[in-house]
Every structure is written in C-alpha cells, then in structure tokens.
Structure 1
Amino acid sequence: MDRAVRLVGVLLFLWVCQTVASVLGTPATVPLFGDIRTPNYPKAYPASNRTVWELAVPKGFLLKLRFKYFDVEPSVDCHYDHVEVIYHTRVLGKFCGQKGSLIGRYPDREPIMSPGNSLKVIFQSDFSNQERHLGFLAHYQAIDIDECSLPTNKDEGPQCQHLCHNVVGGYFCSCHRGYQLQSDNSSCEVQCDGEVFREEQGVISSPLYPNAYPPTLSCRYQLRLERGFLVTLHFTGLFQVDHYKEKECPYDTLQIVIPGKDPQTYCGTKSPGTIETKSHSVDIIFRTDESGYSKGWRIEYSSKRVKCPMPVQFPNGKITPDFKEYRYRDYIKVRCNVGYKMMAHGHEITDFLSVCQNDGTWHLPLPQCHIVDCGVPLSLLNGRIEYSVGRESENVYQSVIKYHCNEPYYKIVPASTGEGNEFVCSARRKWEDANQNKVIPTCLPVCGKPHNPITKVQRILGGSTAPRGSFPWQVLLVSAGRAGAFLITDQWIMTAAHNIYPKHKEQRDSLQDLAQSIQIHLGDTNVEHLTYMPRLEIEGIFVHPGFQMGALQFNNDIALIKLRHRVTVNETVMPLCLPAAGSLYQPDVIGYVSGWGITEGYKLSNHLKYVALPVVDLRQCNNSIQSQKNSHKMAGIPQLTDNMFCAGRVEGGEDTCSGDSGGAFTLLREVEGGVEEFYAAGIVSWGVDCGKKGNYGVYTRVERYLSWIQQTIQGN
C-alpha cells in the first residue's frame, strides 16, 4: 500500500513539472532560446487548464517572444480562453482567437519584446473546448541589449560618466585620458599624475578643457617616444592659466621639462606657441591651487625623426635612394659604376647598406669605388703587347692593348672564337676582344720567306756558297755521317728516312735510342760553327711506315723529327712551307737545293752550298735510270716510283751528292699580294753518279705525304 502511494506521488510530481514550465535557473544554465506550447499541442488543448511559463534569458539580454502558431477560442475581450504575456506586473498583451477571426485578439506575426530578460506567459481555458482549438506554439530567444543607447536612468540605463562600451550581454564604462574609473565602475575622477604617452603624435589637454579645470591638481604628463624622435609641442586653442600681475605664476603653473635644459614655466593668457624640444623625452607638469575658473590649455604634439648628415659626394658610384634629407631609420645603398669595385676597410664587398641611427649618425661609413684591375695580360710567345689606352703599370678598366708578333718572322693568328688582336680590360676583370673572347691570338712562324732570298743574288753555276739567311730552314743532321734535313714548323724537322738508320749496322737501334744519338744543329751556314752550338734535343722520331731500308728501296723515303723545345724563328732560323695538295711539278721549273754534301773535289763542304736545278720529266728520268742500269750491267739501282721526281741538268755538273740527303728541294710559289714563298717540293733521296752528264738526282715527292705529315704532327 505504501509503495502504491509513493508511485502516485511521483507521477503527480512529474505532471506538475510538465504543466508548470519554469525556465528560471543560474546564469550558467539559463538557455538563450526555447519553445513553449499548450498542453496536448498539436491536438486540442484540455478544458479548465491553467499553465504558467516563467521564461528567462541571461542578464544583459532582452527576451523576444514570437507565436509561430496560434488557435485559441475567440471571445470578446478574450474573456474566456486566453493567453497573457506579462513583464513583472505589466501586461504586455492578452490574446485569443484565430487568424482572421472577427472577435478576440490575434497576436499576428510581430514579436513581443520584453523590456528585460524575463517574461511570464499564462494560458487559461474555461470548462469547454467544443470546437477543438489546438492552442499555440511559441519560440523565445535572447536579444543582446545596446545598453549604451538606452536612456540614462538610474534604474534602467547605464551610468557611465564618460564613455560607454557595449559588449555581448552587457556593457562597461571607461574614462577620458587623465581620468580614472572609480570603484562604482561608472564615475570618473581626475588622475593625471604619471600618465605616459608613447605615440608619435597626439593631444594633451588640461582636465575638462575647454571647461574650467578642477582645483588642487598635480598633473604630470610624460612624453616618452623612441630614441631617434624629436618632439614638437604646438599649443592650440585657448590658453588660460590663473596668474596675477604682482607676481609671476604664484599659483597655477604649467611647466615644460626637457632633459638637459632649464624648466620653462607658463601661466596667464599668452600661448607659448610652438616649442621645438629637440628631445624624445618631455615632461608636462600642471599644478593648480584650490581656487580659480581658468579654462586651461591644449597641446597637439608631433614628432620628427632625427636627421643624419647628407652623404658626401660619391665618385664613381651612386647612392640610393636619393633623398633631400635622411632621417632616423632611413637607409642608403651604394652601387659602384660599371668597371668599379666596392671597397671597405681594405676589403672588397659585394653590397653595402647603412642605416641612420637614433643619434643622428650613420651606422657604417661610406665605402669607396675603386676601378677594377684585369691584371697583367697574358704574354704572347714570340710577340709583344702594345698599350693603345692606359699604361702597362695599371691594367685597369677600359685599358686597351694590341698583340703584335715579332715580324717579319711570325704572323698573328686570332683564336678560333676571337676577332683581331685588340683586347680591352672589361668590367668582368678579364682581357676580352670585341666578341668577349678571352683567348689570346697565336704567333705562328712565317714559312718560306728568308731574310736574304737566293733569288736576289746572282746565281753561280756549279754550286755556290749560300749567303747567310738564304736557307734558314737548313738543318745539319749527324748520325753515322753527315746528312741534311729542314725545318717545317718551329718544332718539327723533315728528312729522308734513310738518314735515320746508320749504314752497315747489322743490329738496328730503336728510334728511342736513335733520338739520343742523332745530333741536330741549325741557325748557321758553317758546320764548324754549328758543332760548337748546343745540339737540339729530340723528343721523337717518326719514319714513314711504308719505308723499307734496303739497297734497292727508297720508296716512301721520308721521316719526321719532333724537337723537345720550340725554336725561335729569326733571320737564320725559319721553317719551310709545305706544298699544297695536288701540286704539279712542271718540267724545267727551277728549284733550289742546299747542303753540306760532297763538292766537285769529292770533299765534304764546311760551308753551306746551294744549287739551282730544273725539274726533269719523269719519263726522261726513268729512261736515264734504265740506261744506267744497262750500262752498269747491274741490278743495284733503285726503282723509280710515283712517289718520286727527278731534277738536274742533262749536261751534268750541278747536282746533289752524298751528304746532301734529307735536304729540301724548294720551289717558289706566289701567294696573296704577289708575295713569293719557298715550299718543300721534295726531299733529297738518292741518285747515281751525281753531277755526271745524263744523270739526275731523285727526290721524295712531299706532296704525296701531306696527310701522313698532318696526322703525325697532330697526333704527337
């Protein structure tokens, strides 16, 4: 029985909670919105029902109620079924009816706004609901209040004496500069001692300005700007501080205190005007006695950055940015002109930036722009340098040099990517030609143009002593005996292959061994003089691979010798040119041969001899050789091949002999500008009974070996 009673009590309590819908609670749990509805909604509400809703939202908000659906039995003045909306004791509305009903009061769609944060809603039905009216559905929500815009009423509005600030759910007060908010969070009192101003500009005025300032003030306004700023005080508007003529500023005073200067005291009605403090720190002290009605003062203060000195004139460079004046925090950059480098403290720098400091000085001194130096230009082997612009001791930007070879023995050849022999010291600190090429030209030896050509002296038949400088390519080669050779570059010598191998030796030495034993001399026409001169070191010997040493074999009789060091071309040393590909040796064309071979008395010559010989038709030469074979009745005469040609006179008397082997048979040719040069048409190779009537000398045809010569030189 007790258990049943307790159950009925619980159910009754739950029903009461449903019908009496209170939304009151603590601020932390008070909702910001919600819905209310009549009992049984959306079905017909019960008869004889009274339901009360106590609606509330957090403080600082207004409560807004809107009926989303409304259907309550209509009656005149809503006497029977009705809904009442009440704020405290004030009825905001009494509603009944339906949309479009002729009697009653329908709430329409306009919301009901509570003057505060709460509302009471009461629903009352009488003893019947025969037409099955459904009641209502309503939504409420919190609306933020702009307390600062409400009327200043002690009971209903804010009491901010100076400034009001609206925030969500409330408001707060603040005071003007120089005042302090009191404990009531609403009123303000003067508090002007120790206030600090750090902005670069602003306004400071006496309390209540332009109204009379309060009595017994002791104000200190402190201007504390960043170092590097200079404060200027501008007194604007009315200036009025109590004073008496009998004594200067005895009561109320305005004092300007600048560090390092005497304080300045002001009173009366004459404005101090504008004060340039030249300081970043200023104190404004205002003191008043207990009486007076003066209006006070107003200061608009501003500031300027400290000025740095103008940079001095900057030669060979540019300073940016270009300002009329530079102040604190400004910076300058420096750029040197093209062809100049930036130097600071004896070191080169790539960029420079200096900042104007707060004491009015630059944090770094200006650098200097020095002209760039390309250094000493590369020397030209067998040449010289001439300065067209500038001096040899400087080699600075835009200096101009010209390379010249030692003429007439060398000719200048530009680099493959170059242009000419003129070079300029560029801004890149390199010597460059017009195409920005840095590779200098080369001095190549002039070939075949002797200082004293034999064609200028009278020809002496039968062989004559060669004048000095007539055959500067002539080389004395000493192996097992005396032989000839000739210079074809400043490092390569050409000779007959059979000169390389000593005669009558069963065991042939290697070419490496022969390079140590063979002696090479050049630069003079006298053998005795030559032998006293240092021998030229040989780096390598290259015999044509088709040459076969034998009594009856002189085919491919050609060899090359590479010197370890290049020789200097001069009056007595000059290479001989090579023939052009496809050169034809016409019969009767005169060529010249020189050597230290056997003379008519069958003695070796101590002085260089030369002879002028005509080229002989190959068939005529071959017939001569066949005739010699028949007359000697022996097979010991070599075979004439297409790699050979003959020269000599049918009457004899002029020829090359033993000791001349390996020398050059030279011909003249015309080159550009009508200039003539000698070239190596042949190499003295072999012959039978030299100088006798009907016999001819045989020469290796150099033109047949141009490819082998080129490959050998380039490959070694």
Structure 2
Amino acid sequence: MRLHHYGCNIFCLFLFVSVCECWRLPRSEPVMHGEIQSPQYPRPYPPSQLKQWDLQVPEGYQIQLTFTHLDIEASTGCFYDSLTVLYDQNILGKFCGQQNSTDGHHPGNQPILFPGNRLTLVFQTDDTNPELQQNIGFSVYYQAIGNTFLSLSAFLSLPSSIQCISFVLSFFSVFLFYTCAADRKWSDNNDIHAIPKCIPVCGKPTKLLSSFQRILGGAKAPDNTIPWQVMLKVNGGKGGGMVIGDHWVMTAAHNLVDKGVTAYYLAVLQVYMGSNDVELMTTSPVDVASLHVHPKYKNLDNLDYNNDIALIKLQHPVTFNSSIMPICLPAEGFTYTEGLLGLISGFGLMEKNGSRMATNNLMYVQLPVVEQAVCRKSINEAKEIYSSLPSLTDNMFCAGVPEGGKDSCQGDSGGPLAIKQGGQFWAAGIVSWGIDCGQKGRYGVYTRVANYLGWIINTMQAN
C-alpha cells in the first residue's frame, strides 16, 4: 500500500522396504520406499529373463526412482537387454548401457520423478551365452513423494510384530539412510544415533543475480533468480507475495482485506507464479483453498498497518523446480541490523523517462535496512505535512536510502524483502506501506516477519 498526497521441525520419515525377490511385490498395502535389484545382483544377470515388478504408493503421492547402479548390455534402442518403466501400459523410459557410456540409454544417478502412484518395471534379457555376459544389472530405490509425510507417531503405532525396521529421512531428494542397530538405537552409516531435523531446501535459486538494479526504472530480473515471487490480482488491483511452502503463499493482509472484508468474498483472488513475465504467467492461475489473515490486523481506515501479514493456502501443491521455489523463513530472534541489505522484488510500477508505468516483468532492487529511530523521525516529519498517515510500530521496519530514487511502489505490496545469509535467502520483510515512492528522505515500510514465526507455523500446521 502506498499513500499518495498529490493533493520443520518437520520429520519426513519413510518406511524402508527391501524387495530382493524378482517377482510382483507380495504386499497388499502400498509401501513408501523400497529397493529393487536385478536377478543375482551384484553378480552378472542370467540370460532369458523376463521379470516384472508392480510398484504402488498411496493416492496423492508420486513415485521417484533413483538408480544407484545400472549396467545392462547396451544396444540401439535397448533392443536386446533392457529395463522398461511403464505407467498404465505406457512406456515412460527404456534403459540399458553403462554410466557415461555413449551406447545405450542410461538413466543417470539423479532422482527421476514419475507421474501417478503406480509404476511397472520390466527387466528383459536375451539368450546370450552366460559365459560371455558380464553386465551385473541394476539396483534402484523407489520412494513416495507427496505432501503427506509419516510422523514419528506413525512408527510408534506400527504393529507390534514389527520389531525393527529401517527408514529414510528425506526432503527434496536429500537422502539419509538409517537402520536399527544392535543396541536398539537408530543409527546412520556414520554410527551417529541422533536423528537430524528435516530442513527443506529453500532460498537457493538455481541462478544468482549478478548485480542489483532499481525497481523504479530498473532492469528486469533474469529468469529463475527470484523463484519464490508471486503475483496477486484481486479486485482489479495487483499485489505481490512469496512462496513459503508447497501449499502456502505469504503476503500482506491489506492485499486481501478491504474495510474489514476479505477479498475472497469480494472478488476472485488470482494467484500466479513460475515466471518473470506477466503475460506468460497470467495464463495459468493457481487455485486458492483458503485465506488466513492475521487476527489482529484491523485496518478499517487505511491508517493502521500493524500486523499486515496473511497466508494463502493453495488448493493443490505446487511442484518445486528452478522457477518455483520457497523462500526460507527467518530464524527465531532474527536481528534487523541497520545497513543489512535486502532484495526487494515485484511487478509494481516502474519509472521510465520520469514517468511511472506498469511493468510486465519482475523487477528488483537492493536496499539497506534503516535504523528504526531514523525511519520514525521521517514519518513524524511527514505527519507535519500530511494529516493522515499510519504510525510505525515494532512489528514494522524500514528500508531505503535517504536520497530516494530506489523503492518499492504500487503493485509491489505483499512481496518479499529477502536477506541473504548463509547462502540462502530469508523472508525478512513483506512490502507493506510507504509515503509515495522513492521520495528523498522517505523510506518503505515492511512487516517484520520474524515477529510472526509462531503464528505462521501454527496456522500452517492447523490447516
């Protein structure tokens, strides 16, 4: 909102089930994780084989395969020996050859995510003389990937007949394997007994910005440099937001509330992400499930922006990739030190040749955090000129430069002020309000996200 006066810890646990028989899985209930190997692995596989495995995980999940080893006789089109992956009789991949070989079709060792909760694997070999056959076959892990994770209580409530199982701690394709050791304690391959927390990969874009420019009259943000950026359209206006989870977007409350009434009931709220180009992005809105405005946000007269924060729950989980990725939440007790540089981004107004105009591209700027006393003084001085201005509270902070010219503006509200520390970007602030845009001696005001960590986590867990 711009005022114008022109006048985890989440434990992600998965059952580890070893499937060493080369037949259809004998379980009637779907498993979450397992291993499949070719006959006689790691010895050379025999000729004249035709083996099939039918994999199934719970509804709502997808199956991810990770090939720890694949050495199958190479041939054009994998005609002789092959491992074929099918979904409902449709061939998704046919593999043979060796890693880094020019022959065959090797899947590599990176995780591959397949559609649906079912897969069929078929291993077929020809009748080559076994004395000449030295290829050792394959070993592949499969894992359920989805938005519902087993909790520790799920393990504690397993049938008593299961005395000791293994599991994998996983998030975003990072694997840590654990076994139940002889001393009855969970242990990893380094004999470490403590189970670590599951930390999501956040705030790490695949492409980094080489320099920082101005939003007002600035340059376009390159693709995949700010993958948490969200654009909102509501009641004919435009705002910003940021992805903080596969179901969650964080934004400013004033984007969603007008005189105490949430925009959800006033008009259709449209959420867009995954591109820096407005025209491309607006072809694929993301469905909204529910809105969660901070209960203490009470801004009936546009003069009280305290607690200007809200969460949007999405109807369906988004798939994280190079163009959509969550930003990290700040650590508890995060300190907003004067001079700390923040990255502000948005699809709001830009300045060109002295005129302001709407932008069709994501813009960005780097601005320092301003000392609270300096910002409060600036606002109090402005109040001597303008009678109706909001007040600065401890739930807000300011960013900008005294000479002006660099700022967020209309249409940027709800977007992120991100601070990079420890190699990751953290959501330190939410674009909230200010006195015009980029004026000398004036600063942008941002919601202090660190003050709301408890509310954010509780809201997400409760919904």
Corresponding letter in the other structure for 1:538: V
- Once residues 340 and 377 of structure 1 are traced to their aligned partners in structure 2, the CA distance between those partners, rounded to angstroms, is 16
Who wins on radius of gyration, i.e. which is larger? 1
- Once residues 560 and 554 of structure 1 are traced to their aligned partners in structure 2, the CA distance between those partners, rounded to angstroms, is 16
Pick closer, same or farther for the CA change 1:340–1:617 going to 2, 3 Å.
Answer: closer
Shift, 1:631, TM fit:
2.9
Aligned 8 A contact 1:580 1:703 in 2: yes
Deviations along 1:345-395, whole A, 9 cap, x unmatched? xxxxxxxxxxxxxxxxxxxxxxxxxxx99842648957721344796436x
- Once residues 339 and 656 of structure 1 are traced to their aligned partners in structure 2, the CA distance between those partners, rounded to angstroms, is 59
Partner of 1:384: 64
- Once residues 605 and 509 of structure 1 are traced to their aligned partners in structure 2, the CA distance between those partners, rounded to angstroms, is 29
Partner of 2:421: 669
- Once residues 524 and 389 of structure 1 are traced to their aligned partners in structure 2, the CA distance between those partners, rounded to angstroms, is 36
Structure 2 stretches lacking a partner, 5+ long: 1-18, 23-50, 71-82, 84-120, 124-137, 156-165, 171-176, 187-196
Corresponding letter in the other structure for 2:219: S
The SS at the match of 1:706 is helix
Pick closer, same or farther for the CA change 1:405–1:649 going to 2, 3 Å.
Answer: farther
Aligned 8 A contact 2:231 2:273 in 1: yes
Partner of 1:452: 207
Partner of 2:365: 611
Partner of 1:544: 294
Aligned 8 A contact 1:445 1:489 in 2: no
Q: What is the 5 A alignment of 1:510-521?
A: 513=265, 517-521=268-272
- Once residues 652 and 687 of structure 1 are traced to their aligned partners in structure 2, the CA distance between those partners, rounded to angstroms, is 12
Shift, 1:599, TM fit:
1.6
Corresponding letter in the other structure for 1:478: K
Pick closer, same or farther for the CA change 1:689–1:382 going to 2, 3 Å.
Answer: farther
1:485 aligns with 2:241: yes
Partner of 1:622: 376
1:420 aligns with 2:174: no
Aligned 8 A contact 1:445 1:574 in 2: no
Pick closer, same or farther for the CA change 1:713–1:643 going to 2, 3 Å.
Answer: same
2:345 to 594, 614, 617: 594
- Once residues 61 and 205 of structure 2 are traced to their aligned partners in structure 1, the CA distance between those partners, rounded to angstroms, is 21
- Once residues 309 and 367 of structure 2 are traced to their aligned partners in structure 1, the CA distance between those partners, rounded to angstroms, is 21
> When the two structures are superposed, what TM-score results if normalisation uses the length of structure 2?
0.61
Aligned 8 A contact 1:385 1:402 in 2: yes
Aligned 8 A contact 2:270 2:285 in 1: yes
Pick closer, same or farther for the CA change 1:469–1:381 going to 2, 3 Å.
Answer: farther
- Once residues 483 and 661 of structure 1 are traced to their aligned partners in structure 2, the CA distance between those partners, rounded to angstroms, is 5
Aligned 8 A contact 2:432 2:447 in 1: yes
2:328 to 563, 572, 577: 577
Aligned 8 A contact 2:256 2:262 in 1: no
Pick closer, same or farther for the CA change 1:488–1:554 going to 2, 3 Å.
Answer: same
1:465 to 190, 213, 220: 220
Partner of 2:405: 653
1:679 to 412, 426, 429: 426
1:559 aligns with 2:239: no
Deviations along 1:432-476, whole A, 9 cap, x unmatched? 974499xxxx9986211112222x346568532111111111111
Aligned 8 A contact 1:382 1:443 in 2: no
- Once residues 215 and 411 of structure 2 are traced to their aligned partners in structure 1, the CA distance between those partners, rounded to angstroms, is 19
The SS at the match of 2:460 is helix
Corresponding letter in the other structure for 2:244: I
Partner of 2:45: none
- Once residues 296 and 212 of structure 2 are traced to their aligned partners in structure 1, the CA distance between those partners, rounded to angstroms, is 40
The SS at the match of 1:552 is coil
Aligned 8 A contact 2:291 2:312 in 1: yes
Pick closer, same or farther for the CA change 1:382–1:529 going to 2, 3 Å.
Answer: same
Aligned 8 A contact 1:615 1:648 in 2: yes
Deviations along 1:474-523, whole A, 9 cap, x unmatched? 11100120111111111100000000024xx7xx6556525x61111111
2:390 to 638, 644, 664: 638
Aligned 8 A contact 2:212 2:365 in 1: no
Deviations along 1:576-625, whole A, 9 cap, x unmatched? 11000000011111101111111222211111111110000000100111
Shift, 1:419, TM fit:
3.9
Shift, 1:405, TM fit:
10
Pick closer, same or farther for the CA change 1:578–1:340 going to 2, 3 Å.
Answer: closer
Partner of 2:276: 525
The SS at the match of 2:281 is helix
Partner of 1:707: 454
Shift, 1:547, TM fit:
0.2
**RMSD between aligned alpha carbons?**
3.8
Aligned 8 A contact 2:214 2:407 in 1: no
